[in-house]
A and B are shown apart, each in its own frame.
Chain A
Amino acid sequence: MAPTPKSIKLAAGGNTLAVEWADGHVSRYPYQYLRSRCPCATCAGNARLPNAPVPGALPIFGVKPLAPARAELVGRYAVQIFWNDGHASGIYSFDYLRGLCPCDECAARTGK
């Protein structure tokens, strides 16, 4: 069974998005971290360094800081994040999202 969230908080403070999972685990994703791991065909096709900024998401002066404008569920599998930089083709499957959890516990388990 794929992991399922109970709730997704787009603005969980400190530029993070938080997901509370059905099993009680809470994942906190820094926006930049999540944006740079966009799984869409355009982004995923480009080799990425961990934490490397995505084109169009460079923190240039005068540009709004990166944040999700909104998000929509896709079936039961995924959430589509509409970033405020206009990029919205990223459909993050819950499986993928859970695997991205940067907490120590998960990082130790996945060996990332």
Chain B
Amino acid sequence: MPDNPNSLIPQVRYTIAVASGKGGVGKSTVAANLAVALHATGAAVGLMDTDVYGPSVPTLMGGNTAPHVIEGKIDPPVEFGIKIISMAYFLPKDEAIIWRGPMLHKTVRQFLGDVRWGELDYLVMDLPPGTGDIQLSLSQTILLTGAVIVSTPQDLALAVASKAIAMFRKLNVPILGIVENMSTFICPHCGEREDIFGHGGARQAAEEIAVPFLGEIPLNTAVRLASDSGRPIALDKNSPNGKAFREVAEALVEQVRLLSEQSAQGVKIQ
């Protein structure tokens, strides 16, 4: 009998990959803050750092508890109510590892199947940049609920985001939507908004390629400072960015709902 691809994580309802066409656009920031914002809605949330080359989730989420390995299963650390796993917990510091395809694949499987995730509503996955082995491995190992594409305004214009979208479409992974990160600049001194890359471009680009637009996250030093101190900004409900992340999370929940409703509507298979 063939393996059901989701048998590795039978207690996880929705798996959401956070991806981008290129590096440094804020995937990890968005993944961590979405996890926090989803958790704030009362959902059980896990956060999986699949970026084995540059794992950053443990830094973003603070804390320094290492995972316990009990009976061959990994107990993930919990920060702000979110279960976390990352390669950073297992890598010797300052040591570069050359990852090969099969090794990546095995790690991805272990992060899914050998971690005691328990019952989760959402497992948010932070992906490495681009369209490489991890992306492929992940979509072959489980049936992802969908992907969230993070893009900066200038990349949308340059169609970098569409490369990632094209890859997921090819892998038959639904695109849950685009998040525009670092959009409006909010001046840390006066709180004034300023559009450095133009405004509304992402929304329009998303419409053109028929992908839901989940919202925009302003460029704000407070985001980086919060991340660097290990307390994602989404924990701060009243900050403009905290609010923005919560709105994106709401839009995401709605897309997930639409998706599962449509599939539950049921194509009859006889």
Contacts and interface: CB of A to CB of B under 8 A. Distances in A.
Interface of A: 4-10, 39-41, 70-80, 82, 86-89, 91-93, 96
A91 B143 CA distance: 9
Nearest to A82: B2
Interface in B141-170: 143, 145-146, 169
Interface of A is mostly: strand
B267 interface: yes
Interface string B102-146: 000000000000000000000000000000000010001001011
B2 A73 contact: no
Interface residues of B, number: 22
24 contacts: A6-B268, A7-B267, A7-B270, A8-B270, A40-B140, A41-B171, A71-B269, A72-B4, A72-B269, A73-B266, A73-B267, A73-B269, A75-B145, A75-B174, A76-B259, A76-B263, A78-B172, A82-B2, A88-B2, A88-B3, A89-B140, A91-B143, A92-B172, A96-B172
Contact of B172 (A5, A71, A93): A93
Contacts of B267: 4-8, 73, 79
A90 to B, nearest CB: 10
A82 B4 CA distance: 10
A75 B263 contact: yes
Contacts of A80: 143
B262 interface: yes
Given A6-B267, A8-B269, A75 B2 contact: no
Contacts of A78: 172
B46 to A, nearest CB: 20
Contacts of A7: 267-270
Interface string B63-101: 000000000000000000000000000000000000000
Given A41-B140, A74-B143, A76-B263, A86 B2 contact: yes
B67 to A, nearest CB: 30
A73 B4 CA distance: 12
Given A73-B263, A76-B263, A86-B2, A10 B269 contact: yes
A8 B268 contact: yes
A52 to B, nearest CB: 22
Given A39-B172, A41-B140, A89-B140, A9 B259 contact: no
A7 B143 CA distance: 21
Given A41-B136, A86-B2, A76 B268 contact: no
A18 to B, nearest CB: 9
Contacts of B269: 7-8, 10, 70-73, 79
Contact of B262 (A74, A76, A92): A76
A96 B169 CA distance: 10
A16 to B, nearest CB: 13
Nearest to B143: A74
A51 B266 CA distance: 31
A41 B169 CA distance: 13
A75 B259 contact: yes
A86 B2 CA distance: 6
Contacts of B270: 7-10
A23 B259 CA distance: 20
Contacts of B136: 41
A75 B268 contact: no
A74 B2 contact: no
Interface string B42-69: 0000000000000000000000000000
